Structure 1
Amino acid sequence: MKDYNNHMLQNDFVEEEEQEFNLQQYIRRYFRYWYLFPIFVALTLTAAFFYLKTTQPVYSTKTTMLIKDEQKGISGAQGDMLSELSNQFGGNKLVENEIEILKSQNLMEQVIKELALDVSYTTKQGLRTVNIYGDSPVIVTPEVITEYGYEEDMTIELADSSHFRLNGSDELYPFGKRLTNAWGAFIVKRGEPTSNQEATIHFAQAKSVAESMLSRLSVQQPNVKSTVVELTYEDVNVQRGRDVLNKLLDVYVRSALADKNSEASNTLKFIETRLGLITGELGDVEKDVETYKTSKGLTDISAESELFLENIKENDAKLNEVNTQINILQSVDNYIKNAGAGAVAPATYMINDPVLVSLLTKFNELELQREQYARTTTANNPFLETINTQLASVRQSIRENVQNLRRGMDVTKQNLESINSRFSAGLRSIPQKEREYVGIKRQQTIKENLYLYLLQKREETALAYASTVTDSRLIDAPISSYKPIKPKKSMIWLGGLVAGFAIPLLIINLIFLINNTVQDREDIEKRTHASILGEIGLMKTGKDGPAADSIIKMTSRSAVAEQFRALRTNLQYLGDGSCRTIMFTSSVGGEGKSFVSINLAASLAFSDKRVVLLGLDLRKPSLQDRLEVGNTKGISNYLIGQSNLSSLIQSTNVHPKFDVITSGPLPPNPSELLTNGRLPKMIAELQEQYDYVLIDSPPYGLVTDAALIGEFVDASLYVVRFNYTLLDHLKRIGQLYKTKRFKNMSIVYNGVNYGAGYGYGYGYGGYGYGYYTEDQVAAKTNPFNMNRIKKLIGKG
C-alpha cells in the first residue's frame, strides 16, 4: 500500500479530470444483475415456444399471367385479321395499369362475394386456432348481420347429422332453417363430412376483409422488359389461397372482357335500331309497289322512262346517302352531347370522313379508360382528371368537325335536290301512271340497298364481338409453397434468445440511468479524490431484529470482521500515524457511521487497546440501543456541568476494554452546548485514559455539529454507503477534502454488496465473500443457501 501521507499530499493538487473508459469495469457492473439474463432468456424462449404453438403458419401461393402490351402485336396475315377484329372495339393494355386494377378494392370485394369469404370458420387444435376453410362441418349463409354479429364470434357444434347446438346451449336447431338471433338472420347448412365437430363463425364486412386480403396480395412485374405479372398471396389456409387467386383472375378476365365489349355492344344496339326502322319502311314501300301495280295493271316501262329512271335513281341514291350521312352526323352530334349518360354510340363504319372516324375512335378509347379509372380510383385522381381533360378536347374537336361536314352535306343536298327537280320536269312527258310507278319503285330500291348495307355491318360487328378475347393469358396455375413462410421458427427462436439478452441489458441500463447513488469505488475516487481508508461489506441482519445484531463478533473469520481488522490496521496511515481521536460523520443518516464506529471500536479493543466511544449525536442518538446500555445520563449532562466524566463512562458487553459514553437526554440547543468550551476538556481528559477516542457525530450534510466537533479531533472518517449515498453528496465531500475542512479526512466505504459485479477479491485487502473460513463452511454445508445466492447476485 502506498504511503498515506504522500497520497494525501498528491491529492491536494489533483483536479477533477475525465477518466479513461474502463471496459472491464463497465462489463463487471452488469454481472451484479447476472440473474436477470437466465430469467429473461427463459421467459423469452418460453414466449417464443408459445408463439409458435399458438400461431397458425402462413403459406405463400403464386401464379403468373401474361398481359398483351400495346407495343407488341401478332404478325402475319392471320395476325392482321385478328388484330383488326380485336382492335375495332378496344386496344391492348398497359401492364402498369393492369397491376393497379388487379389490386383494386372492387375486384377483391367481388372475390369475397363469390367465395363467401365474409364468413370465416375456425376451430381449436391444441393451443392453436386453425382456419378450416373448405373443411368446416357447417356452412353459414348470412342474410342480415347486426353490429353485435360483426363484433362477437358464434360457435356451432354438431349434435347429429341433422341438428346442431348454438353457442354451447342445449337447444337443438335443424339444418337448413332460417335462424334469427342477436347475430342477425342466417341459414346454417350441413357441410362436407369432416373430423371437425365444432366451428367458430366470424362475420366480417366485405370492405374490411378486402383491405386485409389486399395487404397480403402482392402484384409485381418480375422483368421490366416482359409483360408477365406475378401474383403472390399469403394465407394460413392453402386451399383458400389458391381459390382467391383463381377467383381474382376469373373476375379480372370477366371485367376486362366486359370493358372491351362495351363499345361493340353499343354499336350493335345502334345498328339493330336502324335496321328496325329501315325494315318497316321497306315493307311499306314494297306494299305500295304491289298495290300500285295491281291497281294500275303496269307490266313494262318505256325506254325514255327507263333513262329518266336511271338518272333519277342514281341521283336519289346520292341524295339518300347524303341524308344518311346527315343523320349519322346528327347521331354523332347527339352522342357527343349526351356521352356518359347512356347514349348509344354511333356506327363508325358509315362515316366516310377519316378525321371524324379517328376522333370518334379516340373518344371511345378515352371513355373506356375513364370508366376503368372511375371504378378503381378516386374522383380527384390525376390520371382521371387528365382523361377528362382529353375527353373535353376531343369532344370539342368532334363537334367542330361534324359542323363542318354538315355544312358541306347541306350544300351537296341542295345541289342534288336541284338536279332532281330538273329530272322530274323531264318525267312530266311520261304518262302519269308510269311516272307514279317509277317513284314508288325508286323508293323501294333505295330502302333495299340501305337494308342490305346495315345487314352487312351488323354481321361484321357481331363477328368482331364474338371474336373478342381477353388481353391476358394464364401462364402458371396457382401453386402454394410446401413449407410455411411465416412464422420462421429459426428467426423466432433467435429473436427470443436475443430479446432474452437485450431486455435485461435495457433494464440494467435503465437502472444505471435512474440510479444516482454510489455504486463502486471509482465513483468515490473520481468525484472526491480522497483516499478510501477502508471498505466494509454488506452485513445482513434481520429486518426487525435488535440493533445489537449489527455488532460483529470480532473473533469470527467472516469477511466483514476481516475488513474491520484491515480498517484498524489502516489507522496507522492517518496523518503522521499518531491519530487517536477520530470522528465519524456522513452526509445523511443511515449511511452506517454508528455501525462503523462501534465495530471499529470493538476491533481496537480486541487488539488490546483501551477504547472509548462518544455518542455526540445529540439530536438522534442510537449507540445506547446498539450497545444495550442506559442513556439516562450522558454527554449532554457533562456539557451543562451536571455530571463529572467518570460517572458517565459505561462498560459494554462487547469487550472489557471497550467503554462508551452515550449522548444523554436530548438537549434543546445541541450546537450551543458543543461550543461552550467543555467539549475539548472532555476529549483531553479521555485521551489520557484511553488509547483511542472515537466520536459518533451527527451527519455533516444535515447539521453543523460535525464541523464544531471536527476542530478537536485528530482525524475524520467520512462514511459513504454503497447504493445509498447520493452522487451529489460526493461533490461536497470532495470540497471538504480539498479545503481541508476536516483534519486528516479519509473515507470509509460501507455496505458494499460484493455481488458478481465486484468479482473475487475486489476491495481493500482483497476481501471477497466465500474466501474466509465461516463463508466456506456455510457454502459447504449448504451450497444452495439462499443468503449466499443473494450475495452472489447482489441482492439485499
Structure 2
Amino acid sequence: MIDNKINGVPSFLEEEEQEFNLREYISRYFRYWYLFPVFVVLALTGAFFYLQITQPVYSTKSSILIKEEKSIGGSQGDILTEMSSEFGGNKVVENELEILKSQTLMEQVIKELDLDVSYTSKDGLRTVNLYKRSPITLTAEVITPLGLEEPLKIHMVDSTHFRFNNEDKVFQVGQRFNNAWGAFVINRGKASEYTDVEVHFSDVKALAEAILGRLSITQPNIKSTVLELTYEDTDVQRSKDVLNKLLDVYVQASLNDKNTEASNTLKFIENRLGLITEELGDVEKNVESYKTNAGITDISSESKLFLENIKENDAQLNEVNTKLSILESVDNYIQNAGEGAVAPATYMIDDPVLVSLLTRFNELELQRERYARTTTSKNPLLETINTQLEGTRQSIRENVQNLKRGMAVSKRNLENINNRFSAGLRAIPKKEREFVGIKRQQSIKEELYLYLLQKREETALGYAATVSDSRLIDAPVTTFQPIKPKRAFIWLGALAGGIAIPVLLINLLFMLNNTVQRREEIEKVTHSSILGEVGLMNTPAGAPADDNIIKMTSRTAVAEQFRALRTNLQYLGDGTCRILMFTSSIGGEGKSFVSVNLAASLAYSDKKVLLIGLDLRKPTLHERLSLPNKTGASNCLIGQGNYEDYIQQTDVHPKFHVLTSGPIPPNPSELLSNGRLPVMLAELRKEYDYILIDSPPFGLVTDSALIAEHVDATLYIVRFNYTLMDHLKRIGELHKARRFQNLSIIFNGVNYGIGYGYGYGYGGYGYGYYKEEKSDKAVGSKLKKLVGMN
C-alpha cells in the first residue's frame, strides 16, 4: 500500500510528533535478546561472589536510663535529701548523649579492649575476624608507620611456633620482636582452625572515629530520659563488648565526678572542724581555770537573767559573725575558683538565692571540667558554660555584698544591745561577770562544734552512698540475622541490574545509531513517498549469485513485495513512466539487487524489460546475472556499433534482457553527457515496455544527475540500518528542488524480525502467511529469524 498517491506534483508531509507506540518500543529490545541472559548471569554471578566476600554485619542494641532526680526514703531521708541537692542534681539528656559519643570515652574503650590490634584470616573468598579466637595474641609496645599501613602476616607452624610473612625462619611464641612493624610480644592464643593470621594495627584516634561512625545513640521518646545505643559490627561478641565497656566507662566517669565533689566538701568541713575543736578546748580550759581560781559555785538570779539575755544576744552576734566569715570564704572561693580553691559549705547560708547560685555555680564548674576532658577549648558547649560561669560568679558576688551589708547593720544593732546589757552587769561582781563571759564563749563553741560534727557525718554518708545517675535497662542484644548485606535485596538488585544494564546499552545503541531504522523517519525527513519496501532476503553463504533473484513460482515475502512494487509503478507520475533509474546515496544499499529483481518481476508479468547497467565506474550487474561484460553500454556511448549487438538475454526469463556496462571507460561523466544516451533511450523505448537503469550512487558521483535528465522517474534506494540519517536530508533537498523527476523511495533490506516491530506491510503478517526461504536449516535458525538477527 502506498501512503500517499505518487504523481508529478511534489508532496510534502507535515512534520508531526509521532505518537508513542508501546509495542514498537518494547519490540526493539528483542533484537538484542541475547544481552539479557548474559548480563543477568553476570550480575547474579557478581552478587554471589559479593555475598561470599562480604562479611555480614550485625546490629547490637542496648538502652540506659538517665536519672533526673533522686528519691530516698528511710530514717536518713532528711539528711540525704539535702545531700542529693548538693551532690546530685538533674542531668540534661542531650549532654549525656554527647558525652557517650565523645572521642575520649571511645579511646578509653579501645585501649581497655585492645581493639587497636585486630586479627583476621581467609576462609575461602571471605575474610574472617578472629576477635577473641585468634591462635595468637600480640602485645604491642611500639608501632611504626608501616605497621599502621600494612598488616603483619603470621603463619602458625604449630601451637607454639610460627613464621613472619613469607620468611622461612621459625620463631617461638612468648618472645619479644623488633622489626619494620614495631616492637611487640607474641603470645599463644586460643585453639583455632586457622593457621594464617593477619594482624592489623590501627591508630587509636582514627579507630575511635570509625567506631563512633557505626555507633548511633537516640532518644526514642522525647518525654523520657531513656537512651538507646545501637552499634553495628561484623563480630557479634565484639559489638557486645564495645557497648558494655562504653557504658562501664561512662558510669565510672560519672561516679568520679560526683566523688570529687563530695571529697572537696568533706575536706572543707574537716578543716573547719579542726579549728573549732581547738577553740572549744581553749574555752573549756579557761572555764576550769577561772572556777578554780575564783572559787565560783553559783550565780545570782539577777546574774542569771542578764546572762540569759546576753547569751541569747551574743549567740545571734556570733551567728552573724560566722555568716560573715562564711560569706568571706564564699567570696574568696568565687574569686579563686578553678585555681585549686576548696569549695565552701553552704549549710549556714539561709539565703535561698545565694544557695541556688552556689549550687548552680558548682554544677557548671563540674560540667566545665567534664567537657574539658572530652572536648577542645573551642567547643561551643564549653564556651557557653564559661559564659554561664562568669554570669553566675558576678551574681554571687553581688548577692554576697548585699548580704554582708545587711549583716553589718545587724551586727551593729546587736553590739548596741550588748552594750546596754553590759551596763546592767556593772552592778554584778567582777568575778561573776568574767565567768559569764567565759561561759558564753564555751556555749557558742559547743553548738558550732556539734553542728560541724553532724554535717561531717552527713557528708561522709553521702560520699559512701554515691551511686550512678544512670541505670542499665537492657543489656546489649544482637540481631539474629545480619542487617548487611541484605541477601534478598542483593539478589533482586543484581537481577534488576542484569535487566537494566542491557536496556541502557540498547537505548545507548539506538541513540548512537545514526542509520535509518524506521519508515516514519524517511517520510518525516525527506517529505517523499515510499513506493515500496523490500525485506531482508536470506541467502546462504557461498550461494550462487542467481540465488538472489526471485523465481516466478516463489511465494516468499520478498517475492510478494517485489510484485507489490511492480504494481505500484502505475502510480508513478501520470502512470506512463517506463524509463526508471535506480540510485542511492552510497554503494551497498541494494540498487543492483532491487533493479534485477524488479526487472525479473516485470518480465514474469509478460512485460518486455531491458535492464541497463550505467554504473560505468564499479559495475556489478553482470556478476549478479552471471553474464559476460566485455562489451556493453560504454561501447554504445562511444559510438561503437549498434546497441542491439550488445544486448544479452538472461536465463531468468525470455523477456528479461540486459545491457551490461561494458569496459570501464576513463571518462564516464563525459560519455553520459555526449548526447548519445537520450538517442539510445528513445530508440529502446519503442522496443521495450520498461527500461530500468542501474546508475552509480548519487551521493558519490554526478553520473546519476546526468542520467536523471533522460528518465521518466527516479527510484532512490534507502537501506535499513545502513543508510545514514544525513543522507535522508539530502534526498529531501533533491525532492524539494525537483532535480529528479518523479522521485520516489524504495526502503530496502528491512529486517522483519520482532526487533523491527512496526506491524505494517509484510513485516507484521507476511512471515505468518507466505512461504519462508529454504536458506538456513541449521538449529536455531527460526529463533534467529524471530529476534531479527538474520
TM-score, structure 1 as length reference: 0.83
| Corresponding residue number in structure 1 for 2:217 | 219
Note the C-alpha offset of 1:264.
2.1
Give 1:389 shift.
3.6
Q: Is the 8 A contact 1:36 1:504 kept in 2?
A: yes
Is 1:41 aligned with 2:49? Answer: no
Task: Indicate the residue corresponding to 2:779 in structure 1.
Answer: 783
Q: Distance in 2 between matches of 1:193 and 1:167?
A: 21
Alpha-carbon distance between aligned partners in 2 of 1:648 and 1:137, rounded to the nearest angstrom: 102
**1:501 alignment counterpart:** 499
Provide the residue aligned with 2:236 in structure 1: 238
Question: Which shifted more, 557-566 or 488-497?
Answer: 557-566
Q: Does the residue aligned with 2:27 lie in a helix, a strand or coil?
A: helix
> Which range is displaced more, 51-60 or 448-457?
448-457
Select between 713-722 and 113-122 the one with higher mean Cα deviation.
Answer: 113-122
| Mapped partners of 2:76, 2:285: distance in 1 | 47
188 and 663 in structure 1: CA distance in 2 versus 1, 3 angstrom threshold = farther
1:65 aligns with 2:64: yes
After superposition, the Cα gap between the structure-2 partners of 1:58 and 1:765, relative to the gap in structure 1 and judged at 3 Å, is: closer
Q: CA RMSD in A?
A: 4.6
- Report Cα offsets for 1:44-75 as digits up to 9, x if no partner: 222222222222222222223233346x9678
Q: 1:480 is matched with which residue: 478, 481, 484?
A: 478
Residue 98 of structure 1 corresponds to 96
> Matches of 1:274 and 1:428 in 2, distance apart?
36
Change (3 A) 1:611 1:764: same
Give ranges in structure 2 of 5+ residues lacking alignment: none
Aligned counterpart, 1:50: 49
Partner of 1:254: 252
- 1:533 paired to 2:532: yes
Question: In 2 relative to 1, CA 766–101 (structure 1 residues): closer, same or farther, beyond 3 Å?
Answer: closer
Q: Does the Cα contact within 8 Å between 1:564 and 1:603 map onto a contact in 2? A: no
Shift of 1:695: 2.4
Task: Measure how far apart 1:143 and its partner are.
Answer: 2.8
Distance (whole Å) between structure 2 residues aligned to residue 574 and residue 487 of structure 1: 68
What's the counterpart of residue 134 of structure 1? 132
My pick for the range that moved more, 306-315 or 447-456, is 306-315
Task: Give the equivalent residue in structure 2 for 1:87.
Answer: 85
In structure 1, distance between residues paired with 2:152 and 2:555: 68
Q: Provide the C-alpha distance between the structure 2 equivalents of 1:614 and 1:315, rounded to a whole number of angstroms.
A: 146
Aligned counterpart, 2:518 = 520
Residue 757 of structure 1: how far off its partner (Å): 0.9
1:652: Cα distance to partner?
9.1
Report the counterpart of residue 351 of structure 2 in structure 1.
353
SS in 1 for 2:183: strand
1:26 aligns with 2:22: no
Structure 1 residues 189 and 703, CA gap change in structure 2 (3 angstroms): same
Deviation at 1:341, TM superposition (A): 4.3
Relative distance call for 1:568 and 1:406 in structure 2 (3 A) is: closer
**In 2: Cα distance, 1:148 partner to 1:216 partner:** 26
Contact 1:530 1:747 in 2 (8 A): yes
CA contact (8 A) 2:616 2:668 kept: no
Q: Partners of 1:343 and 1:550 in 2: how far apart?
A: 115
Cα offset, 1:367, TM superposition = 3.0
| 1:606–1:440 CA distance, 2 compared to 1 (3 A) | same
Cα distance in structure 2, aligned partners of 1:654 and 1:334: 128
SS of the aligned residue for 2:398 comes to helix
1:108 aligns with 2:103: no
The answer to whether the 8 A contact 1:518-1:726 is kept is yes
Structure 1 unpaired stretches of 5+: none
**Which residue number corresponds to residue 363 of structure 2?**
365
1:719 is aligned to 2:717: yes
| TM-aligned CA deviation for residue 620 of structure 1 | 5.9
2-structure distance, mates of 1:338, 1:549:
112
C-alpha deviation, 1:325, in angstroms:
3.4
Which residue of structure 2 lines up, in the alignment, with residue 585 of structure 1? Answer: 583
**CA-CA distance at 1:681 after TM superposition:** 1.9
Kindly state the Cα deviation for residue 599 of structure 1 after the two structures are TM-superposed.
Answer: 5.0
The structure 2 residue matched to 1:182, chosen from 157, 180, 183, is 180
| Alpha-carbon displacement from aligned partner over 1:406-447 (angstroms, at most 9, x marks no partner) | 34455666777889999799799969xx98x99999888876
Matches within 5 A, 1:534-549: 534-537=533-536
**1:288-299 mapped onto 2 (5 Å cutoff):** 298=293
Aligned residues of 1:150 and 1:204 also touching (Cα < 8 A):
yes
Q: Distance in 1 between matches of 2:138 and 2:555?
A: 77
Paired letter, 1:12: S
Partner residue, 2:397: 399
Distance apart, 1:541 and its partner CA:
8.1
**CA contact under 8 A between 1:63 and 1:479: conserved in structure 2?**
yes
> Could you say what secondary structure the match of 2:197 adopts?
strand
- The answer on 1:562 being equivalent to 2:559 is yes
CA contact (8 A) 2:582 2:595 kept: yes
Tell me the distance in 1 between the aligned counterparts of 2:180 and 2:649: 83
Q: State the partner residue of 1:263.
A: 261
Q: Does the 8 A contact of 2:87 with 2:261 survive in 1?
A: yes
Match for residue 172 of structure 1? 170
In structure 2, how many angstroms separate the alpha carbons of the residues matched to 1:79 and 1:313? 33
Displacement of 1:400 in angstroms is 0.9
Aligned counterpart, 2:14? 15
Query: Which residue number in structure 2 is paired with residue 552 of structure 1?
Result: 548
- Give distance in 2, aligned partners of 1:753 and 1:374: 79
Query: Which residue identity is paired with 1:783?
Result: V
Aligned to 2:198: 200
Report 1:589-738 matches (<5 A): 589-598=587-596, 600-601=598-599, 612-617=610-615, 641=638, 643-644=640-641, 646=643, 649=646, 657-662=656-661, 665=664, 667=666, 670=669, 674-688=672-686, 690-702=688-700, 704-734=702-732, 736-737=734-735
In 2, distance between residues paired with 1:269 and 1:775? 111
Find the counterpart in structure 2 of residue 151 from structure 1: 149
In structure 2, C-alpha distance between the alignment counterparts of 1:673 and 1:624, rounded to whole Å: 20
Matched-pair contact (CA < 8 Å) for 1:536–1:563:
no
Q: Secondary structure at the match of 2:184?
A: strand
Task: From the superposition, tell whether residues 22 and 30 of structure 1 become closer, same or farther in structure 2 (CA, over 3 Å).
Answer: same
Letter in 1 for 2:715: L
Shift of 1:537: 0.8
CA distance in 2, matches of 1:258, 1:654: 112
- Residues 633 and 643 in structure 2, CA contact (< 8 A), matched pair in contact too: no
Paired residues of 1:551 and 1:595 also in contact (CA < 8 A):
no
The one-letter amino acid of 1:137's match is P
Distance 1:251 1:734, change over 3 A: same
CA distance in 2, matches of 1:341, 1:52: 60
Report the Cα distance in structure 2 between the residues aligned to 1:159 and 1:702, rounded to whole angstroms: 79
Question: Closer, same or farther in 2 for the Cα pair 1:756/1:118, shift >3 Å?
Answer: farther
Relative to structure 1, the CA distance from residue 765 to residue 229 in structure 2 (aligned partners, 3 Å threshold; closer, same or farther) is closer
Report how far residue 382 of structure 1 moved.
Answer: 5.8
TM-score (norm 2): 0.83
Aligned partner of residue 88 in structure 2, secondary structure: coil
Structure 1's 314 and 87: CA in aligned 2 closer, same or farther, altered over 3 A? closer
1:467 aligns with 2:465: yes
CA gap 1:736/1:363 in 2 versus in 1, 3 angstroms: same
1:573 equivalent in structure 2: 570
1:580-619 deviations in Å (ceiling 9; x for gaps): 3221222344433344335545666777866554444456
Query: Conserved in 2, the CA contact under 8 Å of 1:19 and 1:526?
Result: no
1:283-338 Cα distance to aligned partner (Å, 9 max, x none): 8x599979x969x9958558789989999988877666555434432332233233
Deviation at 1:243, TM superposition (A): 1.5
* Higher mean C-alpha displacement, 322-331 vs 376-385: 376-385
Q: Give the count of matched residue pairs.
A: 780
The change in CA–CA distance for 1:388 and 1:739 in structure 2 (over 3 A counts) is same
Residue type at the aligned position of 2:397: R
Q: Which moved more, 1:395-404 or 1:58-67?
A: 58-67
